[in-house]
Amino acid sequence: MKDKIIVTGGCGYIGSHTVIELLESDFEVVILDDLSNSSEATISRIKKITGISPIFIEIDLKDARATHKVFSDHKDAKGVIHFAAYKAVGESVQEPIKYYKNNLFSLLNTLEAQVYNGIENFIFSSSATVYGMPNTLPITENNKTQRPFSTYGNTKKIAEEILEDYTRSNKVFSVISLRYFNPIGAHSSGEIGELPNGIPNNLMPYITQTAAGIREKLMVYGNDYPTKDGTPIRDYIHVVDLAKAHVLAVKRLLNKEQEMALEIFNLGTGVGYSVMDVIKTFETVTGVKLNYEVTSRRDGDVPELYASINLAKEKLGWSAKKALDDMINSSWIWEQNFQNETNVISKSLSGSDSLK
Ligand code: UD1
C-alpha cells in the first residue's frame, strides 16, 4: 500500500511541483486547498504529467471544524506538508491581520487536527526571510533569526516558533522546517509554473511578464548596494529541485531518521546571483531583450543572501541540480504557454474566431 501524504496548498506554485514529485515517488496524495490563489485546473495538469489524479478537497483551513473532519477522513495519512499560506509581501504589510489570521489559524487548525487523528509527521514551508538582515554569509541554519521586515515573513518566523513549542510539548510529533531561498522556474512539461495574483512582487515573474509584453518595464530596485554590480544578490533555486527536497524530507520522517523533533534545513543552491546577472542571463538564454530601468531601493531588501547548503546535503542527501539557465528557460516557456492558452480562451470567449 502506498503511503498517504496530505499536502495543504497543493494547487499552488511550490505545492503543485511537490505533489508531482510525491506521485512520481509512489506516494498517494491528498491535496487540501481553498483555491484563493490557485486554480483547480492544476489537478488535471498534474494528472496529465503523472498519469495520476491526486485526491482534491477544497477547504478553508481557517475553518477548524471542516479541518478536523477532513483529517479524520484521512487519518491513515503518514504525514502532512503544509504549504497553504498567503505570500504577497507588499499586501501583507498593508493587511497584517489578514496574513496573521490566514497563515497562523490555518497552521494551528492543521496541527491540532492532525495530532488529534494520530498523524505524527509535519513538513513546514518556511523561508529564508526568517534570517532578516544576515551578518555572515553563507547563511547556515545556526544563523540567528530576526524579525522579518514584512508581516508575511513574520508569519513564517512565528510559525517556526509555534512548531518549536509544539514539538517540545508533544514528544511523538516530528517536524522538518524547510527554509527556501528564492524559488523560480517551472516544470519541464511547461504545464505548471508560478501564477502570481495581479502584479508580481518577485523578480522572475516580473521579468517574464515584461518580456511577454504584459508589463511595460521591469524596475530594478537599486544599483547602489555593496555588491559586484550594485544590485542585490540572491540564491535562486529551481522549484523542481526544491520539490524533490520535500520528498526526501518526507522519507526522513517516515524512516524515523530524525535526530531532533524539529529539524531545519536551508534549501538553496549556495550560489548567489545579482539582479543584473538574472537579467543578462534571461536575455542570453531567451534571446529576448528586456525593457528595464534602475530605480530606488525597495524597503526591506537586503544586499546579499545565499545559503550554506551543507546540512541538507549531509542529512537529506539533497543538493540542487539545476542551473540558472534552466531556471530561467523553464520560467519563460511556462509564461509563453500560459499566455498562449489565455489568448485562446479569451478569443473563444469573445467569439472572435467565429467572426472570421
Ligand atoms: C521576497 C520576499 C521574501 C519572500 C520571497 C519569496 C521581500 C522584501 N522579500 O524575497 O520575504 O520569502 O520573496 O519568494 O519582498 N527586484 C527588482 N525588481 C522587481 C522585483 C524584484 O529589482 O520588480 C529585485 C529585488 O530588489 C531583489 C531581487 O530582485 O533584490 C529578488 O527579489 P524577489 O524576487 O522579490 O525576492 P526577495 O526580495 O529576495
CATH of the domain at 242: 3.40.50.720
Please confirm whether the linkage preceding 138 is cis (ω < 30° from 0). Answer: yes
| Residue 172 in domain | yes
Q: What is the pTM of this model?
A: 0.96
Residue 110, C-beta contacts closer than 8 angstroms, at least 6 positions apart: 8, 61, 67, 71, 80, 82, 84
| pLDDT at 325 exceeding the cut of 90 | yes
Question: Which of 182, 204, 276, when mutated, tests ligand 1's pocket best, judged by the most ligand atoms within 8 Å of its CB?
Answer: 182
Residue 99, CA atoms < 13 Å, CB-side half-sphere: 21
Domain of 88 in residue numbering reads as: 4-273+295-341
| Residue 157 in domain | yes
| Residue 72 in domain | yes
Instruction: List alpha helices for the chain, DSSP H.
Output: 13-24, 41-50, 64-73, 89-94, 96-116, 151-169, 203-211, 239-254, 275-286, 310-311, 324-350, 352-355
Q: What is the average pLDDT across 140-144?
A: 97
Residues 329-347 have pLDDT tens digits of: 999 999 999 888 777 666 6
Choice among 209-218, 219-228, 319-328, 342-351 with the minimum mean pLDDT: 342-351
Q: What is the average pLDDT across 84-92?
A: 94
Q: What is the average pLDDT across 179-205?
A: 94
Three-state SS at 28: strand
| Residue 288 in domain | no
Residues 118-136 have pLDDT tens digits of: 999 999 999 999 999 988 9
| Residue 84 in domain | yes
| Residue 123 in domain | yes
pLDDT for the residue 172:
87
Nearest CA to ligand 1 atom 21: 203
Ligand 1, residue 231: give the atom nearest the CA.
30
Give the total number of structural domains in the chain: 1
Choice among 102-116, 196-210, 247-261, 306-320 with the minimum mean pLDDT: 196-210
Q: What is the average pLDDT across 311-335?
A: 98
CA distance linking residue 328 with residue 337, whole number of Å: 14
Nearest CA to ligand 1 atom 18: 220
CA distance linking residue 323 with residue 160, whole number of Å: 29
- Is residue 221 part of the annotated active site? The answer reads no
Cell of 254: 517516515
Q: Is 329 in the pocket of ligand 1 (CB under 6 A)?
A: no
Q: Are 291 and 355 in contact (CB under 8 A)?
A: no
| Residue 351 in domain | no
Question: Cα of 201 to ligand 1 centre, how many Å?
Answer: 7
